[in-house]
């Protein structure tokens, strides 16, 4: 089963069973109504996340990765609307569900960890109340039973002295502890898919490592598929099994992280990787010239044409579709084959 294709069933491959696909997104498009008119913030995005693995959605700010995550989780703001595609969670097509059917899956099947834990936690309730909420809503537990489960969760995610801290409010916790609380809430009901939207951006590096370790342990425990939304190449290299690189609302390259990072087959991915500072490299740090296109005026042809060092005439007239460029790899570039050999 390859990241980036649209098929959903498990595929037998040369004696090895690929892990079951927990989340498959295909052709997803999201339109946002802005003051300057509607924009297609997410355009024909596809990827699939297998159980027990981490798929990274990698891209710079504004590339649509968070909108994609929110569209999958059904949490888009009112100005944004899914205008096409499908999101399959196991056997269920999410986009066709009624709001109440969707609510039944929110928590037990699909959960999300937000970037800024301080604003994501409700300031006026104790963390115990908030941790107990999934059990109250979905399992119908009594307040006392749910509180016990909340304590278990706090122990599981490594919050010291849970018995006394359960009655504290979010502002009394450190940033790392708050992120642990968010993660605890997300895994409360053992979801099959966990979307982590920049879960460590607001944290310092040591805490970041602890949080990622916790996520990895929980992934193994629940054999969850983790979708990691990030702009951090190092984090992708360390944590993810697969990567889908996004640019201007589109997926430009997908594949196993080690393969994509060893030999990127899209000029954007290559540009990103070349921009990583390396120790002992004394010369000037290369960067990708220019800026991503304004979503109001996406050019005809390839979205990356304005910044691409390899741009040709065809790039200005024809939009390259994602093509298979190897086992489980796709690239949306007319010249991906040249990249491989060049």
Partner 1 sequence: MITFLRRRTLSSVIPLAVVVLGVFCLARLTGNPASLYLPLNATEQMRQDFAERNGLDQPVLSQMADYLGGVLRLDFGESLRTGQSAGRMALDAFPATLQLAGFTMLIAVLGAAVVGSWAAFKPNGLADRVCSTMSMIAASVPDFWFAIVGIWIFAVTLGWLPTSGVTGHGIWILPIATLVVRPFGVLVQVVRGAMVSALSSPYVKLARSKGADDYRIVTHHALRNAAAPALTVAGDLTVGLVNGAVVVETIFGWPGIGKLMIDSILQRDFAVLQAAVLVTAVAIFVLNILIDVCYALLDARVRQAAKT
Q: Is 133 in the site for partner 1 (CB under 8 A)?
A: yes
Query: DSSP readout, 134-182?
Result: HIIIII---HHHHHHHHHHHHHHTT-SSHHHHTTS-GGGS-HHHHHHHH
* Structure token digits, residue 206: 């040591």
Report the residue from 7, 17, 104, 318 that binds partner 1 according to the rule CB under 8 A: 104
Nearer to partner 1, 164 or 297 (CB): 164
Report the residue from 77, 91, 283, 313 that binds partner 1 according to the rule CB under 8 A: 77
> Who's near 248: CB < 8 A, 6+ residues apart?
63, 64, 292, 293, 295, 298, 303, 304
Nearer to partner 1, 159 or 185 (CB): 185
Q: Is 228 in the site for partner 1 (CB under 8 A)?
A: no
DSSP 321: P
Nearer to partner 1, 150 or 308 (CB): 150
Nearest distance from C-beta of residue 124 to partner 1, angstroms: 5
Helix (H) / strand (E) containing 271 = helix 267-274
Task: Using the rule CB under 8 A, give the single segment among 3-11, 17-25, 97-105, 141-149 that binds partner 1.
Answer: 97-105
74 near 93, Cβ under 8 Å?
Answer: no
Report the residue from 7, 13, 34, 122 that binds partner 1 according to the rule CB under 8 A: 122
Report the residue from 185, 244, 303, 325 that binds partner 1 according to the rule CB under 8 A: 185
Q: What is the rounded CA–CA span in Å between residue 295 and residue 298? A: 5
Q: Is 112 in the site for partner 1 (CB under 8 A)?
A: yes
Report the residue from 32, 43, 114, 265 that binds partner 1 according to the rule CB under 8 A: 114
Q: Which of these, 159, 162, 154, lies nearest to 176 by C-alpha position?
A: 159
Return the number of other C-beta atoms located less than 10 Å from residue 311's C-beta.
Answer: 17
Q: Which residues bind partner 1 (CB under 8 A)?
A: 73-75, 77-78, 100, 103-108, 111-112, 114, 116, 119-126, 133-134, 137-138, 169, 171-172, 182, 185-186
């Amino acid at each position: 089963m390859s990241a980036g294709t649209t098929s959903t069933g498990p595929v037998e491959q040369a004696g090895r069973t690929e892990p079951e696909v927990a989340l498959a997104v295909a052709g997803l498009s999201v339109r946002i109504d802005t003051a300057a008119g509607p924009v297609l913030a997410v355009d024909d995005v596809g990827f699939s996340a297998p159980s027990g693995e981490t798929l990274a959605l990698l891209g710079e700010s504004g590339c649509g990765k968070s909108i994609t995550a929110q569209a999958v989780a059904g949490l888009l703001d009112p100005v944004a609307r899914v205008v096409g595609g499908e999101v399959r969670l196991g056997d269920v097509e999410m986009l066709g569900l009624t709001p109440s059917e969707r609510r039944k899956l929110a928590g037990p099947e699909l959960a999300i960890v937000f970037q800024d834990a301080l604003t994501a936690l409700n300031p006026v309730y104790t963390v115990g109340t908030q941790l107990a909420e999934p059990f109250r809503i979905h399992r119908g537990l009594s307040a006392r039973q749910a509180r016990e489960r909340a304590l278990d969760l706090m122990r599981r995610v490594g919050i010291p002295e849970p018995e006394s801290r359960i009655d504290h409010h979010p502002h009394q916790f450190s940033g790392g502890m708050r992120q642990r609380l968010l993660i605890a809430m997300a895994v409360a009901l053992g979801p099959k898919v966990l979307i982590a939207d920049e879960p460590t951006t607001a944290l310092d590096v040591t805490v970041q490592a602890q949080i990622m370790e916790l996520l990895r342990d929980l992934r193994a425990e629940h054999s969850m598929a983790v979708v990691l939304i990030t702009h951090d190449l190092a984090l992708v290299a360390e944590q993810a099994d697969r990567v889908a690189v996004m640019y201007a609302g589109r997926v430009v390259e997908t594949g196993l992280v080690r393969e994509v990072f060893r030999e990127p087959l899209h000029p954007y991915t290559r540009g990103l990787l070349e921009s990583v500072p390396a120790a002992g490299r004394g010369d000037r740090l290369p960067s990708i010239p220019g800026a991503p296109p304004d979503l109001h005026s996406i050019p005809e042809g390839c979205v990356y044409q304005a910044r691409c060092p390899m741009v040709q005439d065809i790039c200005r007239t024809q939009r390259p579709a994602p093509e298979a460029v190897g086992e489980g790899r796709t690239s949306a570039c007319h010249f991906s084959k040249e990249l491989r050999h060049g």
